[in-house]
């Protein structure tokens, strides 16, 4: 079984964003550590802009 351990939550004023249509958001990111996994890691070049 793959177990995820909570690592850190990122939030706050530095993650505030205002879009060109004046919509605003406060982004929140929860990150985890995984020490064991199965499968193959693959880079999605479209998602990271390569």
d(CA 28, CA 22): 19
DSSP conformational letter for 26: E
Query: Once rounded to an integer, what is the mean pLDDT over residues 37-50?
Result: 79
Cα(27)–Cα(12) distance, rounded to whole angstroms? 8
Single pTM value for the model: 0.58
Domain spans, the chain:
4-48
26: left (phi over 0), alpha (psi -120 to 50) or beta: beta
User: Could you read off the pLDDT of 23-34 as tens digits, one per residue?
Assistant: 999 999 999 999
The more confidently predicted of residues 36 and 21 is 21
CB 27 within 8 A of CB 9: no
């Amino acid at each position: 079984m793959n177990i995820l351990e909570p690592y850190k939550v990122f939030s706050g004023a530095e993650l505030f964003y205002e879009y060109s249509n004046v919509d605003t958001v406060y982004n929140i990111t929860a990150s985890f550590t995984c020490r064991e996994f199965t499968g193959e890691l693959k880079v999605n070049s479209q998602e990271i802009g390569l």
